[in-house]
């Protein structure tokens, strides 16, 4: 069921060595191949990235940084890490890049530890409005050890910027609380971020600007979304999602002093040995992102998101903020049915081979485990080669499933149609 001969060969070897584990992996391979993936934070990596993360680089401990390791035998690990750094810097137009974070959350932790002391104040968008756990949620390290204050979205339905960042309110909150760091960049925000405006606010209140571009990194790299540089003092991101690399994190800056602080806080502050196989795969993914076809891909991601959002609006669903500028959208299910929850929608759609995630909407009356919305994204479908006509078909399927409620017959009908489309657009 694997999509390339090398992957199939690896699965065959696994079957001979450990059939139980191999069977589970093969089932997941089949699931991905036969479902439409609309989770905005996921993507399908290339076979090259997939194989890079499974190389002998996983065998080596390489604590420290290139040229300053605590173990011998790291000469080639230095080379692959330097290659990943070089490509990241070229890709995002920055002076320094740390490719060792195991995840985006750990990248954020390292930066916050570098720039803040326990109890210090930072400003961010609250989770319920599209922020992230590591942006100040009380049960997360960022909310336990630091003091988050939150700026809001615009909540006036008559405002053309309804459910978008309220930059004037953000300025007022930052001038009142004088945070040491202002954090922008979000987990469920469908609009363009004005990094230049945030830098003006940061300069006015004496703060450093941190941009978390985990979701939009691929768009930024391709020039489809404005870059946080030169406005942000430090930038974090994941390397998966729109960047289409392995799961991992990345920290970038143009400030040498911030670089030194961040490097110390990441290692030995919160991490030990870096995952060198993941760093090797990051280098491969960054190389792919530097090619002209990556820009074409990201442009199509945005076109597909706009087409899917429009098609859902035409079928009676409200899209939060009125639309999308990037790869994702938040669908308000209440406008279709007052009783329809994100939990139900996610479950029914999965039964029809359409994979989504329930998500809160701004001012959601329901708790996070239930929600009134879905977050949808187009990186995966675009990677498979789908375009606007397929987005319209997907919107039709979503509407058929949700309109039918828990009707298993409809789920089965749609699943067959989805799997037929998936066969025409295979996973890389």
CATH 3.40.640.10 residue spans of the chain: 56-289
d(CA 99, CA 88): 8
Asked if pLDDT for residue 10 goes beyond 90, the answer is no
Choices 3.40.50.1440, 3.40.640.10, 3.90.550.10, 3.40.50.300: CATH for 56-289: 3.40.640.10
Determine the Cα angle at 23 with ends 19 and 29, to 5°.
140
Instruction: Give me the phi and psi of 227, to 5 degrees please.
Output: -80, 145
305-328 mean pLDDT = 98
d(CA 242, CA 42): 8
Active site residue 241: yes
More confident residue, 363 or 177: 177
**Span 142-176, pLDDT tens digits:** 989 999 999 999 998 989 999 999 999 999 999 99
Three-state SS for 383-407 is HCCCCHHHHHHHHHHHHHHHHHCCC
CATH topology of domain 303-424: 3.90.1150
Secondary structure class of 78 (helix, strand, coil) = helix
Query: Percent of the chain, pLDDT > 70?
Result: 99
Active site residue 61: yes
d(CA 216, CA 287): 18
Asked if pLDDT for residue 398 goes beyond 70, the answer is yes
Which of 35, 154, 236, 238 is catalytic? The answer is 238
Which DSSP letter does residue 366 get? S
Which of 81, 212, 364, 390 is catalytic? The answer is 212
Asked if pLDDT for residue 109 goes beyond 60, the answer is yes
d(CA 166, CA 208): 19
More confident residue, 3 or 226: 226
Quote the crossing angle between the two packed helices 276-289 and 75-92, to the nearest 10°: 40
Note if the pTM is more than 0.85: yes
Which of 247, 282, 358, 415 is catalytic? The answer is 247
273-300 mean pLDDT = 98
* 11: confidence class by pLDDT, cuts 50, 70, 90: confident
Which of 4, 42, 61, 167 is catalytic? The answer is 61
**Span 41-83, pLDDT tens digits:** 999 999 999 999 999 999 999 999 999 999 999 999 999 999 9
d(CA 10, CA 23): 12
Asked if pLDDT for residue 287 goes beyond 80, the answer is yes
Give the pLDDT of residue 2: 65
CATH 3.90.1150.10 residue spans of the chain: 303-424
Active site residue 86: no
Which of 171, 180, 199, 241 is catalytic? The answer is 241
* 186: confidence class by pLDDT, cuts 50, 70, 90: very high
Active site residue 238: yes
Active site residue 212: yes
Contact 267, 63 (CB under 8 A): yes
Asked if pLDDT for residue 289 goes beyond 80, the answer is yes
Which of 4, 42, 63, 299 is catalytic? The answer is 63
Tokens of 275: 């995952």
* 8: confidence class by pLDDT, cuts 50, 70, 90: confident
């Amino acid at each position: 069921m694997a999509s390339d001969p090398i992957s199939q060969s690896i699965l065959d070897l696994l079957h001979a060595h450990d059939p139980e584990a191999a069977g589970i992996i093969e089932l997941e391979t089949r699931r991905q191949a036969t479902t439409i993936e609309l989770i905005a934070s996921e993507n399908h990596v290339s076979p090259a990235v997939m194989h890079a993360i499974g190389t002998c680089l996983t065998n080596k401990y390489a604590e420290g940084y290139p040229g300053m390791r605590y173990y011998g035998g790291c000469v080639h690990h230095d080379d692959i890490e330097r290659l990943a750094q070089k490509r990241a810097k070229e890709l995002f137009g920055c002076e320094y890049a740390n490719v060792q974070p195991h995840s985006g959350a750990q990248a954020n932790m390292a930066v916050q530890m570098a720039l803040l002391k326990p109890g210090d104040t930072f400003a961010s968008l609250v989770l319920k409005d599209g922020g992230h756990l590591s942006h100040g949620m009380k049960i997360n390290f960022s909310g336990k050890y630091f003091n988050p204050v939150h700026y809001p979205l615009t909540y006036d339905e008559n405002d053309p910027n309804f459910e978008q960042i309220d930059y004037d309110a953000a300025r007022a909150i930052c001038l009142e609380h004088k945070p040491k760091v202002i954090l922008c960049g979000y987990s469920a925000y469908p609009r363009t971020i004005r990094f230049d405006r945030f830098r003006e606010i940061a300069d006015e209140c004496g703060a450093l600007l941190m941009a978390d571009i985990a979701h939009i990194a691929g768009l930024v790299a391709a020039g489809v979304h404005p870059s946080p540089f030169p406005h942000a003092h430090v930038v974090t991101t994941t390397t998966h999602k729109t960047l289409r690399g392995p799961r991992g994190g990345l920290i970038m800056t143009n400030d040498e002093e911030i670089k030194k602080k961040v490097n110390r806080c990441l290692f030995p502050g919160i991490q030990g040995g870096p995952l060198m196989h993941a760093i090797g795969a990051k280098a491969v993914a960054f190389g792919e992102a530097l090619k002209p076809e990556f820009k074409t891909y990201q442009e199509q991601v945005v076109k597909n998101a706009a087409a899917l959002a429009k098609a859902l609006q035409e079928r009676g669903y409200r899209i939060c903020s009125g639309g999308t500028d990037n790869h994702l959208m938040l669908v308000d299910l209440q406008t279709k049915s007052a009783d329809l929850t994100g939990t139900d929608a996610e479950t029914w759609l999965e039964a029809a081979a359409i994979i989504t995630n329930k998500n809160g909407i701004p001012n959601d009356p329901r708790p996070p485990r239930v929600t009134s919305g879905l977050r949808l994204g187009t990186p995966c479908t675009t990677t498979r080669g789908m375009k606007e006509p397929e987005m319209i078909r997907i919107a039709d399927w979503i509407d058929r499933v949700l309109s039918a409620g828990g009707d298993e017959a409809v789920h089965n009908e749609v699943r067959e149609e989805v799997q037929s489309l998936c066969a025409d657009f295979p996973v890389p």
